[in-house]
Structure 1
Amino acid sequence: MSESAPETVPAKKPAKAKKAAKPENSIPRGQPKSNRPWKTPKQKFSKIKKTVNRLSFEKKTALRDELRYIKERSKEIKDKRKEDAVQKHQRRVENAERRLANERRSEVVQVIKNPAKLKRMKKKQMRMIEKRDVSQVKVV
């Protein structure tokens, strides 16, 4: 044995643990219960990393103003459409009433004073008879 100083062995640094492969990727998947093999295994929502992109105050206010303008504009358009529809309906009703009144005014009316005539009439002639309020209709 030699009397030289004992050799010192440099201390080994602890080996870095390699990242373990994700367990869901390393384990082969069997047939899922739902029988849909194309579906990927889901992660818990809390485990998913979410990136947060904060907007500056100016951008936020600009976005709010833009949204407010869009809402007001769309409300105006909807109100205008509604108003147009109401006016159209009103006009249609007025036209129908006017048409009916014009028809009544232009009718040629013959008052039947003798009720015995009604008994002599045929069925087709009876169908043509209409009752009117004589006070409203001009008798020709």
Structure 2
Amino acid sequence: MVAAKKGRPKSGRWWKAEGKRKSSLIGDKPLHTSWRKRVKQREEKKALKEYEQQLKEELQRQKEEKRKRIEEHRKRKEENERKAEVVQVITNTAKLKRLSKKQRKNIRKQ
């Protein structure tokens, strides 16, 4: 018997494998899986979802803590700025009428 020549197929379809027969192909998996396997898969899926939920909650908690820290820092900074301000008390309210519009905008009641 003469061995088949290994090279480019006559059809020119180089991507097609040679000698494919139905008997050589691997059959499909059975459509029906066992009950134990299904239960096991269900448990694994449930455990994975719980783990995902825990990760999401942890991330959410960290974001919330960071937001609170930033807010506290901002409030503390504002308070410190107010404490450091140099304030001039206006006792004579008649002077307010003489101030220009720009100066009136800068006045704050405390």
What is the TM-score of this pair, normalised by structure 2? 0.64
Greater helix fraction, Structure 1 or Structure 2: 2
Tell me the residue number matched to 1:96.
74
Out of 70, 85, 105, the residue aligned to residue 107 of structure 1 is: 85
Identical-residue share of aligned pairs (%): 38
Q: Deviations over 1:20-62 (max 9, x none)?
A: xxxxxxxxxxxxxxxxxxxxxxxxxxxxxxxx72212331232
Partner of 1:73: 51
Indicate the structure whose relative CO is greater, using CA pairs within 8 Å and at least 6 residues apart.
Answer: 1
| Bigger mean CA deviation after superposition, 100-109 or 90-99 | 90-99
Shift of 1:77: 1.1
TM-score, with length taken from structure 1: 0.52
Q: Could you tell me which amino acid in structure 2 is paired with residue 67 of structure 1?
A: K
For 1:123 and 1:57, the matched residues in 2 are separated by: 83
Q: Which runs of 5+ in 1 are unaligned?
A: 1-51, 133-140
Q: Which amino acid aligns with 1:110?
A: Q
1:103-131 CA distance string (max 9 Å, x none): 11111001011123222222222222111
Amino acid at match of 1:54: H
Aligned-partner SS, 1:69: helix
Match of 1:118 in 2: 96
Q: Which residue of 2 aligns with 1:85?
A: 63
Superposition pairs of residues 1-140 of structure 1, within 5 angstroms: 53-132=31-110
Partner of 2:12: none
How many residue pairs align between the two structures? 82
> How many Å separate the matches in 1 of 2:76 and 2:82?
10
**Equivalent residue, structure 2, for 1:45:** none
